[in-house]
Every structure is written in structure tokens, then in C-alpha cells.
Structure 1
Amino acid sequence: MEQHLDTQVQREIKKFSHEELKAITNNFSRKIGRGGFGIVYHGYLENQTEVAVKTCTLESTQANKQFLAEVRSLSLVHHKNLVTLVGYCKDGVNLAVVYEYLPRGSLFDHLTGKNSSFSLNWRMRLNIVLEAAQALDYLHTGCGMVHRDVKSSNILLGQNFEAKVSDLGLAKMFSADANSIITLSGTPGYMDPEYQLTFTLNEKSDVYSFGVILMEIVTGEPPILTARESIHIVKFIKQKLATGSIDDVVDSRFEGQYDMNSVWKVVELAMICTRDESANRPTMADVVMHLKDCVQIEEHRQRGKLQPSEKSYMNMSSISTSHSMSVSFAPISR
């Protein structure tokens, strides 16, 4: 498999030596993050193009397999909202992936305040998750691939805050083996509960994880809230919605600059995405369609057709009782 991958990848992307990576990264002097198996460094190619170099420092069979999986996955997929693979290094024990550099960091950094220089408004958050959803839809429908580690820290942002999904190291093809039993992988807080119980993987596991991200962009909170006691964001929002109010969960950094209709729609979509049974979740194609509606609503507000103070409420019974796979949002009465 390894020999086949090397032959395949060499036809499409550049293979770097370890010495070349040392030159690109100025001897690995600037750390910009940490991946699952090593540190990520900033670097410049000879033409001064900025790149990120993700190293693999664990000399284990699992690390080697995941490295090879990421190289293979990135070399086979091409979408404007997926991180572009520039090259890779497999030089003895030195393993690394070289990909485009995204200067704005991750969605998670902005939501948690780690990147405090700029606060993402509601419209920007909607655009980011829409673009990320389009990338996942492409993986599912165009590539027959499950990402397996969808989370806000794996949504990277370009200079103009365009979103690109990264870290395909855990990705697995499911077109011919959709429900195979595999090793449990993912990140706590984002993992599909059905997958954790059954070890059965399909694309709806990504949908669950994406539903958690939708809750993050509404609340500005991480998947596991620890202010008083540890509580998962899905349970937290369900408790708030049980009172019929959503105001308490909306990120205060918005300062009221949003249309409540679009917020409700995103919350409802998030609740459907995070249903316990995967069969009752929408597809990523459905998610893309409804996020486009949410973006359009917010665009109308920003053009002055809706006032930020206007609030409306939808019947939440469809969230808690409906088990239909159809995802539809009726017009919200004012």
C-alpha cells in the first residue's frame, strides 16, 4: 500500500526531503499549532508562498498509517473549501505533510477567544459553516469519504475568512464498505453517540459532529461547557429550549446584530443533526441547502429589510418529536 501511495502521490504533488523542510521552515523555528501526531510549523517555499508543515514525531505503526492516510486523502480530493496539499516528506523516519497556510487560524480559536483580535459576527459565522458544509458534502457525495474528525478546530480560515476543512488523517472511504466495523476515532465532544456504541461508521457521524459546530457558532461555547459542571452543548441547548427561550444561549458578542429567524433555523438544524439515531439525521446536502436559506435571511437583515431588534419564535415541537428525514422549515410568523 505504501509503495502504491508513493507512486500515486508523486504524480500529483511534490515530495520534499527532510533537508528541504528544514530550509522551508528556517530549521523548524516557528510553531503555529499541534496536530494529533506532531507539531505544525510555518514556512516559505522558494517562491515565498506561505505553507504549514505538519510533522509526525511518533514512531509508531498507527502514526505512520494515519500519516499515509492524510497524504492519500488530500492528494485525491480537490475542493475550494478543503485545505490544499502542497507536498509531503517521507524521508526515513521523518514524516511531514506540507499544505497551504491559512493565516486566520481556526474557527475554534475565534469562538473561544484565543484569537481575540477579531470577533466573528453572525453573518461571518454563517458563511464559514456553509462553506465547511459544502466541503463535507463533497467528501460524502463526490468522494464517498467520511472525514471522521469534524470539529471547529479543523475548520481553518483564510485571509478573507474563507473556510477550509483540514486534517483528513482519519478519513475513510465508505462507498464500498459504509457500515464496516472500524477502530473508534474522533474527538470527545464531537463524536457521534451511535458510533461510540456500535463502532459502525457512516457519513451521518460527520453530520452529528457538524451539528455540534452549529451549536458552537450560536453560543460561542465549546462542546463541553465547564462553567459550573461539565455538560455537553447538546444537553445545554435542549435545557434552554425546554423553557421556550433562546436568548440565553446566543453569543453576547453579537450585540443583537442578527435576525432571530436565522438563529432559530440554525438551532433547529443543529438539533436535527445531533439526533441520537443516525437514520433520523439529514444529509450534508440538506444541511447546505438550509444554511443557504439562513445566509439569505441574514443578508436581507443587513440590507435593512429586517431590524436586529425584531424577534420571532418558532414551534420547537418538530425538534423534539419529529423523526422524519425531511428537513423543512415553515415560515415563521411575526
Structure 2
Amino acid sequence: MDHPVLCEPIGIHGYTDPTIENTGGVSHKSDIYSFGVVLFEILCGRAAYIENATDELLAPMAKYQYENNSVKDIIHPGLWNEMSPQALVKYSNIAYSCLEEEPSHRPDINDIAKQLEVAVELQLRRENVVRLSI
């Protein structure tokens, strides 16, 4: 079981695990949440937090889009030309799993690493097909 370390959490708005308020501390699953935000930043080509009239956070927006089968609408358009669609789906699945509300439902770093390897393999297969067809 993952027990939070009781401390004053330090973090940047947009990356911080929302469950910290309820638990009063951080855990390695808090880092997993932050990693999911960073992965969505890369996929979407935008910052985790945009300060404007709505103070928009990327994580809740990405979760909403994912849950409504419209995450493709927020992935940076340039990635669709450069990457395997299967790899993009895999990356978005990984990112979403890191943002699970319940920290215990978030994957462990070893599981994330394995899934990232699968995504890279999907991309490499696409690149080999593209190279062979040139």
C-alpha cells in the first residue's frame, strides 16, 4: 500500500497531484500523476497551466477529452504526420492512466516503462515501413 509522506507539498500549479489536499502528503504516485501531465504536455504541445481568464489546467481537460473519445482533438496536429497513430494512442493511454483520481489505480513506474517501450516499438515499426517505401 502506498502511504503518503506527510509534508508541505511543493509543486508547480498544473503538475501537482490533486489528491494531496485530501491526504496531506505526497507519495511516489504523486510523481506518477505529474509524469502523466508532462506526457500530455508533449502530446498536446502546450503547457500544463495556462494563466488566462479561465486559468486552464491541462490535466482535467485531457482527462475529459480522453473519457469522451476525443483526445485526438487535443494531440498536436504535427504529431499525426510524424508518428504512428498506434504509438500516439499508446502514449495517450499511458498519460491517462497516470492521471487516475485514486493514486492506487495509477501504474507503477516499471509498468509505465514497459508501456513506453511498446509505444517506441510501434513508432519504430512505422519508421521502418516508411523507410522501406521510400
User: What's the TM-score bracket when you normalise by the shorter of the two chains?
Assistant: 0.7 to 0.9
Does residue 266 of structure 1 match 2:94? no
Deviations 1:205-248 (A, max 9, x none): 11000010110111011112457733221221233234423332
Listed as ranges, the gaps of 5+ residues in structure 1 are 1-177, 307-334
TM-score scaled to structure 2, two decimals?
0.84
Bigger relative contact order, structure 1 or 2, given CA contacts below 8 A and separation 6+?
Answer: 2
Match in the other structure for 2:57: 232
Which 5+ residue runs of structure 2 have no aligned equivalent? Answer: none
- Asked if 1:302 corresponds to 2:130, the answer is no
Instruction: Please report the TM-score for the alignment, with normalisation by the length of structure 1.
Output: 0.36
Structure with the greater alpha carbon radius of gyration = 1
How far apart, CA to CA, are the structure 1 residues paired with 2:67 and 2:4? 34
The residue aligned with 1:312 is none
Higher strand residue share: 1
2:118 alignment counterpart = 293
Residues 301, 228 of structure 1: CA spacing in aligned structure 2 closer, same or farther, 3 A cutoff? farther
Q: How does 1:140-179 map to 2 (within 5 A)?
A: 179=4
Distance 1:235 1:289 in 2: 25
- Displacement of 1:302 after TM fit? 0.6
Q: Deviations over 1:188-215 (max 9, x none)?
A: 1111111233222211111000010110
Equivalences, count = 129
Residue among 101, 106, 122 paired with 1:281: 106
Letter in 1 for 2:114: M
Report the residue type matching 1:231 in the other structure.
E
Q: 1:280 to 1:243 in 2, by over 3 A?
A: closer
Deviation at 1:284, TM superposition (A): 0.8
**SS of 2:19's equivalent?**
helix
Aligned to 2:12: 187
For 1:303-322, list aligned pairs within 5 A: 303-304=128-129
Q: Which secondary structure does the structure 1 equivalent of 2:9 belong to?
A: coil
Number of the residue aligned with 1:206: 31
Higher helix residue share: 2
